[in-house]
A and B are shown apart, each in its own frame.
Chain A
Amino acid sequence: MKSLGNKQEMGCREIQMQMEDAPGAVTGARELAELLAALSNAEKEHVTTCAECRAAAENILASRALLDGLPSNADLGGPWFAPRVMAAIAARKAERESAADAFTFLPRLAARLTWASAVALLLASAWLYQRPASTPTNPVITDITGEPIADNATPATNDEVLVSLAEKAR
Protein backbone atom coordinates (compact mmCIF):
# COMPACT_ATOMS: atom_id res chain seq x y z
CA MET A 1 0.00 0.00 0.00
CA LYS A 2 2.83 2.30 1.01
CA SER A 3 4.69 1.61 -2.22
CA LEU A 4 1.53 2.32 -4.18
CA GLY A 5 1.21 5.65 -2.36
CA ASN A 6 4.80 6.54 -3.19
CA LYS A 7 4.22 5.58 -6.82
CA GLN A 8 1.18 7.83 -6.90
CA GLU A 9 3.20 10.68 -5.32
CA MET A 10 5.96 10.21 -7.91
CA GLY A 11 3.36 10.36 -10.66
CA CYS A 12 1.89 13.58 -9.26
CA ARG A 13 5.30 15.20 -9.04
CA GLU A 14 6.19 14.20 -12.58
CA ILE A 15 2.91 15.53 -13.92
CA GLN A 16 3.32 18.80 -12.01
CA MET A 17 6.87 19.18 -13.38
CA GLN A 18 5.57 18.52 -16.89
CA MET A 19 2.98 21.23 -16.45
CA GLU A 20 5.72 23.66 -15.42
CA ASP A 21 7.36 22.92 -18.74
CA ALA A 22 4.36 24.30 -20.60
CA PRO A 23 5.48 27.50 -22.27
CA GLY A 24 4.53 30.69 -20.48
CA ALA A 25 3.85 34.11 -21.98
CA VAL A 26 1.94 34.61 -25.20
CA THR A 27 2.23 31.06 -26.45
CA GLY A 28 1.34 29.76 -23.00
CA ALA A 29 -1.88 28.14 -22.07
CA ARG A 30 -4.68 30.20 -20.59
CA GLU A 31 -7.11 27.31 -20.18
CA LEU A 32 -6.71 24.05 -18.32
CA ALA A 33 -7.23 22.05 -21.50
CA GLU A 34 -4.41 23.96 -23.23
CA LEU A 35 -2.14 23.48 -20.26
CA LEU A 36 -2.71 19.75 -20.27
CA ALA A 37 -2.38 19.39 -24.02
CA ALA A 38 1.15 18.00 -23.77
CA LEU A 39 0.14 15.30 -21.29
CA SER A 40 -0.98 11.79 -22.15
CA ASN A 41 -4.66 10.87 -21.81
CA ALA A 42 -3.98 8.95 -18.59
CA GLU A 43 -2.14 11.94 -17.13
CA LYS A 44 -4.94 14.30 -18.17
CA GLU A 45 -7.43 12.08 -16.46
CA HIS A 46 -5.25 11.97 -13.39
CA VAL A 47 -5.15 15.79 -13.19
CA THR A 48 -8.91 16.00 -13.35
CA THR A 49 -9.32 13.53 -10.49
CA CYS A 50 -6.28 14.32 -8.29
CA ALA A 51 -6.93 17.39 -6.11
CA GLU A 52 -3.22 18.17 -5.67
CA CYS A 53 -2.43 18.09 -9.38
CA ARG A 54 -5.54 20.05 -10.22
CA ALA A 55 -4.59 22.71 -7.67
CA ALA A 56 -1.10 22.87 -9.18
CA ALA A 57 -2.58 23.36 -12.65
CA GLU A 58 -4.92 26.06 -11.39
CA ASN A 59 -2.02 27.82 -9.66
CA ILE A 60 -0.11 27.90 -12.94
CA LEU A 61 -3.06 29.43 -14.77
CA ALA A 62 -3.86 31.88 -11.97
CA SER A 63 -0.28 33.12 -11.59
CA ARG A 64 -0.04 33.45 -15.36
CA ALA A 65 -3.14 35.61 -15.42
CA LEU A 66 -1.87 37.66 -12.50
CA LEU A 67 1.51 38.41 -14.08
CA ASP A 68 -0.05 39.15 -17.45
CA GLY A 69 -0.33 42.83 -16.50
CA LEU A 70 3.40 43.27 -16.04
CA PRO A 71 5.23 44.78 -19.01
CA SER A 72 8.10 42.97 -20.67
CA ASN A 73 11.50 44.65 -20.53
CA ALA A 74 12.79 42.86 -23.59
CA ASP A 75 12.04 45.68 -25.99
CA LEU A 76 13.55 48.45 -23.90
CA GLY A 77 16.65 48.34 -26.06
CA GLY A 78 15.58 49.52 -29.48
CA PRO A 79 17.60 49.56 -32.70
CA TRP A 80 19.68 52.40 -31.23
CA PHE A 81 21.04 50.13 -28.52
CA ALA A 82 23.73 48.22 -30.49
CA PRO A 83 25.31 51.40 -31.95
CA ARG A 84 25.24 52.93 -28.47
CA VAL A 85 27.10 49.91 -27.08
CA MET A 86 29.69 50.10 -29.86
CA ALA A 87 30.21 53.81 -29.17
CA ALA A 88 30.68 53.06 -25.47
CA ILE A 89 33.22 50.37 -26.37
CA ALA A 90 35.13 52.77 -28.63
CA ALA A 91 35.19 55.40 -25.87
CA ARG A 92 36.41 52.86 -23.32
CA LYS A 93 39.09 51.67 -25.75
CA ALA A 94 40.35 55.24 -26.29
CA GLU A 95 40.38 55.77 -22.54
CA ARG A 96 42.39 52.60 -22.02
CA GLU A 97 44.86 53.52 -24.75
CA SER A 98 45.53 56.96 -23.25
CA ALA A 99 45.97 55.38 -19.83
CA ALA A 100 48.37 52.86 -21.37
CA ASP A 101 50.33 55.76 -22.96
CA ALA A 102 50.74 57.40 -19.57
CA PHE A 103 52.00 54.16 -18.13
CA THR A 104 54.63 53.67 -20.86
CA PHE A 105 55.72 57.33 -20.73
CA LEU A 106 56.57 57.15 -17.04
CA PRO A 107 59.07 54.28 -17.25
CA ARG A 108 60.75 55.94 -20.23
CA LEU A 109 61.13 59.15 -18.25
CA ALA A 110 62.34 57.18 -15.26
CA ALA A 111 65.16 55.63 -17.31
CA ARG A 112 66.33 59.05 -18.46
CA LEU A 113 66.17 60.40 -14.92
CA THR A 114 68.29 57.48 -13.72
CA TRP A 115 70.97 58.27 -16.28
CA ALA A 116 70.99 62.00 -15.42
CA SER A 117 71.24 61.26 -11.69
CA ALA A 118 74.08 58.80 -12.24
CA VAL A 119 76.08 61.38 -14.20
CA ALA A 120 75.39 64.09 -11.58
CA LEU A 121 76.50 61.75 -8.80
CA LEU A 122 79.73 60.91 -10.66
CA LEU A 123 80.59 64.58 -11.19
CA ALA A 124 79.83 65.47 -7.59
CA SER A 125 81.97 62.67 -6.22
CA ALA A 126 84.90 63.62 -8.54
CA TRP A 127 84.71 67.24 -7.38
CA LEU A 128 84.62 66.23 -3.71
CA TYR A 129 87.64 63.96 -4.20
CA GLN A 130 89.75 66.68 -5.85
CA ARG A 131 88.79 69.59 -3.55
CA PRO A 132 91.79 70.93 -1.37
CA ALA A 133 91.46 70.25 2.36
CA SER A 134 90.59 73.44 4.33
CA THR A 135 92.82 74.56 7.36
CA PRO A 136 91.07 75.18 10.63
CA THR A 137 91.46 78.80 11.88
CA ASN A 138 92.52 79.54 15.50
CA PRO A 139 89.72 80.93 17.56
CA VAL A 140 90.27 84.48 18.88
CA ILE A 141 89.43 84.95 22.57
CA THR A 142 88.03 88.37 23.32
CA ASP A 143 87.17 90.25 26.55
CA ILE A 144 83.85 91.78 27.35
CA THR A 145 84.50 94.82 25.15
CA GLY A 146 85.37 92.63 22.25
CA GLU A 147 89.15 93.31 22.37
CA PRO A 148 91.35 90.21 22.02
CA ILE A 149 92.67 89.07 25.42
CA ALA A 150 95.74 87.32 24.19
CA ASP A 151 97.72 87.90 21.12
CA ASN A 152 97.35 84.70 19.38
CA ALA A 153 99.56 85.70 16.53
CA THR A 154 102.47 83.39 16.51
CA PRO A 155 105.84 85.07 16.35
CA ALA A 156 107.26 84.92 12.92
CA THR A 157 110.96 85.06 13.70
CA ASN A 158 113.36 84.36 16.62
CA ASP A 159 114.02 88.11 17.08
CA GLU A 160 110.39 88.76 17.60
CA VAL A 161 110.33 86.01 20.25
CA LEU A 162 113.26 87.54 22.14
CA VAL A 163 111.74 91.03 21.98
CA SER A 164 108.52 89.83 23.37
CA LEU A 165 110.26 87.98 26.23
CA ALA A 166 112.26 91.10 27.11
CA GLU A 167 109.16 93.19 27.16
CA LYS A 168 107.53 90.72 29.47
CA ALA A 169 110.52 90.74 31.86
CA ARG A 170 110.38 94.49 32.02
Chain B
Amino acid sequence: MARVPKVEPLGLPADSAGGKATGAKAPGTVDDRELVRRAQEEDQAAFEELVRRHQHRVFAVAGGILRRREDVEDIAQQVFVKAYFSLKKFDQRAAFSTWLYKITVNECWDMLRKKKVRPLVYESDLSEEQARQVIASEEKGGGGPDISERLEARQRVENLLEGLDERDRLMLILKEVEGFAVEEIAQVLNLNANTVKVRLFRARRRIINKVRKRGE
Protein backbone atom coordinates (compact mmCIF):
# COMPACT_ATOMS: atom_id res chain seq x y z
CA MET B 1 0.00 0.00 0.00
CA ALA B 2 1.38 3.40 -0.96
CA ARG B 3 2.02 5.79 1.88
CA VAL B 4 2.34 9.53 1.90
CA PRO B 5 5.85 10.86 1.70
CA LYS B 6 6.34 12.95 4.78
CA VAL B 7 6.84 16.68 4.33
CA GLU B 8 8.55 19.02 6.73
CA PRO B 9 6.73 19.07 10.03
CA LEU B 10 6.23 22.52 11.52
CA GLY B 11 8.27 24.33 8.92
CA LEU B 12 11.36 22.15 8.93
CA PRO B 13 13.00 21.38 5.59
CA ALA B 14 11.21 18.82 3.47
CA ASP B 15 12.53 15.89 1.56
CA SER B 16 11.91 17.10 -1.95
CA ALA B 17 12.56 13.75 -3.55
CA GLY B 18 9.22 12.57 -2.26
CA GLY B 19 10.59 9.64 -0.30
CA LYS B 20 10.41 9.07 3.40
CA ALA B 21 11.51 11.89 5.67
CA THR B 22 15.06 11.55 6.74
CA GLY B 23 14.96 14.49 9.11
CA ALA B 24 17.99 16.06 7.42
CA LYS B 25 17.90 18.51 4.57
CA ALA B 26 19.31 16.97 1.41
CA PRO B 27 22.12 18.97 -0.17
CA GLY B 28 20.91 21.33 -2.87
CA THR B 29 17.30 21.35 -1.71
CA VAL B 30 15.53 24.55 -0.88
CA ASP B 31 13.23 24.74 2.11
CA ASP B 32 9.56 25.59 1.83
CA ARG B 33 9.96 29.11 3.22
CA GLU B 34 12.38 30.02 0.46
CA LEU B 35 10.16 28.45 -2.21
CA VAL B 36 7.14 30.31 -0.87
CA ARG B 37 9.07 33.58 -0.89
CA ARG B 38 10.08 33.00 -4.51
CA ALA B 39 6.57 31.98 -5.50
CA GLN B 40 5.27 35.17 -3.93
CA GLU B 41 7.53 36.98 -6.37
CA GLU B 42 5.77 35.19 -9.27
CA ASP B 43 8.38 32.45 -9.66
CA GLN B 44 6.31 29.74 -11.34
CA ALA B 45 8.99 27.06 -11.00
CA ALA B 46 9.11 27.59 -7.24
CA PHE B 47 5.38 27.12 -6.95
CA GLU B 48 5.51 24.02 -9.15
CA GLU B 49 8.10 22.57 -6.77
CA LEU B 50 5.80 23.31 -3.82
CA VAL B 51 3.00 21.46 -5.63
CA ARG B 52 5.27 18.46 -6.19
CA ARG B 53 6.30 18.40 -2.54
CA HIS B 54 2.85 18.68 -1.05
CA GLN B 55 0.55 17.02 -3.56
CA HIS B 56 0.68 13.62 -1.79
CA ARG B 57 -0.40 15.10 1.53
CA VAL B 58 -3.16 17.15 -0.08
CA PHE B 59 -4.43 14.07 -1.93
CA ALA B 60 -4.29 12.09 1.31
CA VAL B 61 -6.28 14.65 3.28
CA ALA B 62 -8.83 15.24 0.51
CA GLY B 63 -9.14 11.48 0.01
CA GLY B 64 -9.75 11.00 3.73
CA ILE B 65 -12.67 13.39 3.59
CA LEU B 66 -14.17 12.79 0.16
CA ARG B 67 -13.30 9.13 -0.52
CA ARG B 68 -14.16 9.48 -4.23
CA ARG B 69 -11.23 9.59 -6.58
CA GLU B 70 -12.88 11.90 -9.10
CA ASP B 71 -13.69 14.46 -6.43
CA VAL B 72 -10.26 14.16 -4.83
CA GLU B 73 -8.43 15.06 -8.05
CA ASP B 74 -10.66 18.08 -8.69
CA ILE B 75 -10.34 19.35 -5.15
CA ALA B 76 -6.57 18.87 -5.06
CA GLN B 77 -6.20 20.99 -8.18
CA GLN B 78 -8.59 23.59 -6.81
CA VAL B 79 -6.58 23.75 -3.56
CA PHE B 80 -3.32 24.51 -5.32
CA VAL B 81 -4.91 27.06 -7.67
CA LYS B 82 -6.48 28.80 -4.69
CA ALA B 83 -3.19 28.66 -2.78
CA TYR B 84 -1.39 30.26 -5.73
CA PHE B 85 -3.75 33.20 -5.93
CA SER B 86 -3.77 33.69 -2.13
CA LEU B 87 -0.04 33.21 -1.67
CA LYS B 88 0.69 36.92 -1.38
CA LYS B 89 -1.53 37.05 1.70
CA PHE B 90 0.33 34.15 3.34
CA ASP B 91 2.70 35.69 5.89
CA GLN B 92 4.65 32.46 6.68
CA ARG B 93 3.87 32.65 10.39
CA ALA B 94 2.63 29.06 10.09
CA ALA B 95 4.23 26.34 7.98
CA PHE B 96 3.16 26.26 4.33
CA SER B 97 1.85 22.72 4.84
CA THR B 98 -0.41 23.82 7.71
CA TRP B 99 -1.83 26.61 5.58
CA LEU B 100 -2.34 24.24 2.68
CA TYR B 101 -4.10 21.66 4.89
CA LYS B 102 -6.52 24.33 6.05
CA ILE B 103 -7.36 25.25 2.46
CA THR B 104 -7.79 21.55 1.64
CA VAL B 105 -10.11 20.83 4.55
CA ASN B 106 -12.20 23.95 3.84
CA GLU B 107 -12.49 23.16 0.13
CA CYS B 108 -13.56 19.60 0.91
CA TRP B 109 -16.22 20.63 3.42
CA ASP B 110 -17.43 23.27 0.93
CA MET B 111 -17.69 20.68 -1.79
CA LEU B 112 -19.65 18.34 0.46
CA ARG B 113 -21.96 21.18 1.46
CA LYS B 114 -22.53 22.14 -2.16
CA LYS B 115 -23.12 18.60 -3.29
CA LYS B 116 -25.15 17.83 -0.20
CA VAL B 117 -23.85 14.29 -0.25
CA ARG B 118 -22.21 12.35 2.51
CA PRO B 119 -18.51 11.72 2.08
CA LEU B 120 -18.54 7.94 2.04
CA VAL B 121 -20.23 5.50 -0.26
CA TYR B 122 -21.97 4.09 2.81
CA GLU B 123 -24.73 1.64 2.10
CA SER B 124 -24.25 1.67 -1.64
CA ASP B 125 -21.78 -0.52 -3.49
CA LEU B 126 -18.29 0.73 -4.20
CA SER B 127 -18.06 2.99 -7.23
CA GLU B 128 -16.77 1.61 -10.51
CA GLU B 129 -13.58 3.55 -9.98
CA GLN B 130 -12.98 2.01 -6.57
CA ALA B 131 -13.72 -1.44 -7.90
CA ARG B 132 -11.25 -0.83 -10.70
CA GLN B 133 -8.62 0.19 -8.12
CA VAL B 134 -9.11 -3.02 -6.19
CA ILE B 135 -8.91 -5.10 -9.37
CA ALA B 136 -5.76 -3.27 -10.48
CA SER B 137 -4.09 -3.82 -7.11
CA GLU B 138 -5.15 -7.45 -7.21
CA GLU B 139 -3.54 -7.86 -10.62
CA LYS B 140 -0.36 -6.26 -9.33
CA GLY B 141 -0.31 -8.18 -6.07
CA GLY B 142 -0.94 -11.62 -7.45
CA GLY B 143 -2.03 -13.97 -4.66
CA GLY B 144 -4.27 -13.44 -1.65
CA PRO B 145 -8.06 -13.45 -1.41
CA ASP B 146 -10.00 -13.09 -4.64
CA ILE B 147 -11.34 -9.79 -5.94
CA SER B 148 -14.91 -10.19 -4.77
CA GLU B 149 -13.75 -11.05 -1.25
CA ARG B 150 -11.50 -8.01 -1.15
CA LEU B 151 -14.25 -5.77 -2.47
CA GLU B 152 -16.62 -7.11 0.15
CA ALA B 153 -14.08 -6.63 2.93
CA ARG B 154 -13.43 -3.11 1.83
CA GLN B 155 -17.11 -2.37 1.67
CA ARG B 156 -17.48 -3.65 5.22
CA VAL B 157 -14.72 -1.33 6.45
CA GLU B 158 -16.28 1.63 4.63
CA ASN B 159 -19.61 0.82 6.27
CA LEU B 160 -17.97 0.63 9.68
CA LEU B 161 -16.34 4.00 9.17
CA GLU B 162 -19.74 5.36 8.20
CA GLY B 163 -20.82 5.24 11.83
CA LEU B 164 -18.06 7.58 12.96
CA ASP B 165 -18.09 11.34 13.17
CA GLU B 166 -16.58 12.87 10.00
CA ARG B 167 -13.54 14.23 11.87
CA ASP B 168 -12.91 10.98 13.73
CA ARG B 169 -13.10 9.07 10.48
CA LEU B 170 -10.62 11.45 8.86
CA MET B 171 -8.26 11.09 11.85
CA LEU B 172 -8.31 7.31 11.64
CA ILE B 173 -7.74 7.27 7.89
CA LEU B 174 -4.91 9.80 8.09
CA LYS B 175 -3.25 7.92 10.94
CA GLU B 176 -3.66 4.33 9.83
CA VAL B 177 -4.03 4.50 6.05
CA GLU B 178 -1.99 7.55 5.10
CA GLY B 179 0.63 7.35 7.85
CA PHE B 180 0.26 10.86 9.28
CA ALA B 181 1.73 11.61 12.70
CA VAL B 182 -0.59 12.79 15.47
CA GLU B 183 0.90 16.30 15.29
CA GLU B 184 0.17 16.50 11.58
CA ILE B 185 -3.42 15.38 12.08
CA ALA B 186 -3.71 18.07 14.74
CA GLN B 187 -2.50 20.61 12.17
CA VAL B 188 -4.94 19.40 9.53
CA LEU B 189 -7.91 19.63 11.85
CA ASN B 190 -6.68 22.59 13.84
CA LEU B 191 -6.87 20.64 17.09
CA ASN B 192 -4.62 19.99 20.03
CA ALA B 193 -2.46 16.83 19.69
CA ASN B 194 -3.89 15.40 22.92
CA THR B 195 -7.44 15.94 21.65
CA VAL B 196 -6.51 14.00 18.53
CA LYS B 197 -5.16 11.12 20.61
CA VAL B 198 -8.26 10.98 22.78
CA ARG B 199 -10.57 11.07 19.77
CA LEU B 200 -8.53 8.42 17.97
CA PHE B 201 -8.73 6.22 21.03
CA ARG B 202 -12.53 6.58 21.20
CA ALA B 203 -13.00 6.11 17.45
CA ARG B 204 -11.00 2.89 17.52
CA ARG B 205 -13.00 1.59 20.45
CA ARG B 206 -16.24 2.39 18.64
CA ILE B 207 -15.41 0.57 15.41
CA ILE B 208 -13.90 -2.42 17.19
CA ASN B 209 -17.01 -2.72 19.36
CA LYS B 210 -19.11 -2.62 16.21
CA VAL B 211 -17.04 -5.38 14.64
CA ARG B 212 -17.46 -7.50 17.78
CA LYS B 213 -21.22 -6.90 17.81
CA ARG B 214 -21.50 -7.95 14.18
CA GLY B 215 -19.35 -10.97 14.93
CA GLU B 216 -16.89 -10.15 12.17
Known: A24-B175, A89-B81. A77 touches B76 (CB 8 A): yes
The interface residues of chain A lying within 8 Å CB-to-CB of B64 are 73
The reply to whether A23 and B181 form a contact with Cβ atoms under 8 Å apart is: yes
- For window 120-137 of A, CB contacts with B under 8 Å fall at none
* A82 close to B (CB within 8 Å): yes
* B51 close to A (CB within 8 Å): yes
The interface residues of chain A lying within 8 Å CB-to-CB of B197 are 16-17, 20-21
The reply to whether A63 and B208 form a contact with Cβ atoms under 8 Å apart is: yes
The reply to whether B208 and A82 form a contact with Cβ atoms under 8 Å apart is: no
CB distance from A15 to the nearest CB of B (A): 11
Which of B85, B178, B204, B205 is close to A73, meaning CB atoms less than 8 Å apart?
B178
Identify the closest chain A residue to B65 (Cβ).
A73
* B188 close to A (CB within 8 Å): no
The reply to whether A63 and B178 form a contact with Cβ atoms under 8 Å apart is: no
The reply to whether A66 and B62 form a contact with Cβ atoms under 8 Å apart is: no
* A32 close to B (CB within 8 Å): no
Identify the closest chain B residue to A27 (Cβ).
B179
* B137 close to A (CB within 8 Å): yes
Q: How many residues of B contact A (CB 8 A)?
A: 58
**Docked pose: A87 CA to B44 CA in angstroms:** 11
* A85 close to B (CB within 8 Å): yes
**Docked pose: A83 CA to B172 CA in angstroms:** 31
The interface residues of chain A lying within 8 Å CB-to-CB of B181 are 23
**Docked pose: A69 CA to B159 CA in angstroms:** 13
The reply to whether A75 and B56 form a contact with Cβ atoms under 8 Å apart is: yes
CB distance from A132 to the nearest CB of B (A): 66
CB distance from B142 to the nearest CB of A (A): 16
**Docked pose: A2 CA to B70 CA in angstroms:** 56
- For window 36-70 of A, CB contacts with B under 8 Å fall at 56, 59-60, 62-64, 66-70
The interface residues of chain B lying within 8 Å CB-to-CB of A73 are 59-60, 62-64, 69, 72, 178
Known: A74-B4, A75-B2. A81 touches B51 (CB 8 A): yes
* A88 close to B (CB within 8 Å): yes
Flag B178-208 by CB within 8 Å of A: 1 or 0 each.
1111100000000000100110110111011
Q: Which of B8-16, B94-102, B111-119, B149-157 contacts A (4 or more CB under 8 A)?
A: B149-157
The reply to whether A71 and B205 form a contact with Cβ atoms under 8 Å apart is: no
CB distance from B110 to the nearest CB of A (A): 18
* B52 close to A (CB within 8 Å): yes
The interface residues of chain A lying within 8 Å CB-to-CB of B44 are 86, 89
B residues engaging A (CB < 8 A)? 1-5, 44, 47-48, 51-52, 55-60, 62-64, 69, 72-73, 76-77, 80-81, 84-85, 133-134, 137, 150, 153-154, 157-158, 160, 172-173, 175-182, 194, 197-198, 200-201, 203-205, 207-208, 211
Q: Supply 13 further A-B pairs (C-beta < 8 A) apart from A72-B179, A74-B57.
A: A16-B197, A24-B175, A59-B201, A69-B150, A74-B59, A75-B59, A81-B51, A81-B55, A81-B76, A82-B48, A82-B51, A89-B47, A92-B85
A residues engaging B (CB < 8 A)? 16-17, 20-21, 23-28, 56, 59-60, 62-64, 66-77, 81-86, 88-89, 92
**Which 3 A-B pairs rank lowest in CB-CB distance, beginning with the nearest?**
A73-B63, A25-B179, A74-B4
